[in-house]
Structure 1
Amino acid sequence: MAIMNNTTTTELLNSDDGHPLSGYYLGSKPSADAALKDETVADRTMRLKSNYDARGMRISVQAVMLVELFKHPHVLLLQSKNCVYNLPGGRLRPNESDVDGLKRKLLRKLSADDDNNQTNWEVSECIGSWWKSDFETLPYPYAPNAPKECTKLYLVKLPLNRDFIVPKNFKLLAVPLCQLHENRKTYGSIIAEIPQLLSRFSINMVSTST
């Protein structure tokens, strides 16, 4: 991802200012979730069922973070080695709030291991929720009877400078909104809906020369 070589970014939530992408740095750290790297679909389903029996409904929180590349808004995605795309985030712990859980996951996925909570992730509003009635169906934007999973998307505002330190078994990519739009085959139904979710916001792109 070549986000360090660009000089513009986007600011969300009707703000008039933007931040230069030259202030962002991309580094790497040891791989995450190594024990799950060879997990099959069947193994994952069995693991989720076991976790549901022990903990109840699985609640995940994910971050939508925008940057500007080539004069077009892009979303930051993590790509695993099996070419699966995900928004940064993950499952909440029991009794953990959405905001605290998302900050914890962003520190784990996008910050240095020795960060010691120095990075302050600015979590904004929830823009959408998806639900699953079991562990194999596609998610729906409404709650079914006895849901097994819930995934919530939150806007996360990027600061002027930020170091992204990503596990080596992931790539951090900036994907344009136009490429995500209704592209469920590649990115999944949740990520493909992000352009529509953002359509109610005013996204201001402010260029800053280096």
Structure 2
Amino acid sequence: MPKRYLMLVGDPNDINIWSNIPYYFLQAARKDDFLMAGLPLKPAQLKFWRLLWNLWQLLFTGQRGGFQYSNYFARLLIAQVSLPPEPIEIISHFPLLPPEPIPVQWQLNYYIDATTKQVFESYGIDQKVGKNFQAEVLARETRNFQKAKRIICMCHWAADSVINDYGIDPSKVFVIPGGANLDEALLTQLPPGPPPLSSP
């Protein structure tokens, strides 16, 4: 059985990354021998390349931004780690990782909270990057979803987008809410919430 690795824009070994969801997912998965390791990717080390990207975009498209959605960014990021040549399984929290071309010996799965189309539209990013670039990003994401064995979403909103916006077969789209990997025994140690409001 191929070794599984967790991948995202950041280091899942760091509890401070992305609301600590990847950290706790990795800890729970390691305990059950489900995951081999979390890849320590460091996007902060790519600041120089981000500046070059923005300058290039500004010169050739009149717009800047979108570096983190480019295949160039994904290639620079994944180059920070060494992966074995034998077949491996990837669980990615970011739908544009791994970069293209994806090695044929990699089995790919996603666990996402939203699609890039939703992120573009919900956060106004579609107003900040060029239309041609957006189209290229979404086409690449579609190819990633098509190659994936399964796409696990943290909510039905994201799952609906994977199916309806990207045309992905519903049989490989699943919903597992964020937090499903938390240790329930640890939750009992949290302090109690505030007392219920009393009427005057």
Same fold (TM over 0.5): no
The TM-score normalised by the length of structure 1 is 0.31
Query: Which of these two proteins has the greater Rg computed from alpha carbons?
Result: 2
Please identify which structure carries the higher strand content. Answer: 1
- Looking at both structures, which has the greater relative contact order when contacts are Cα pairs under 8 Å and sequence separation is at least 6? 1
The TM-score normalised by the length of structure 2 is 0.32
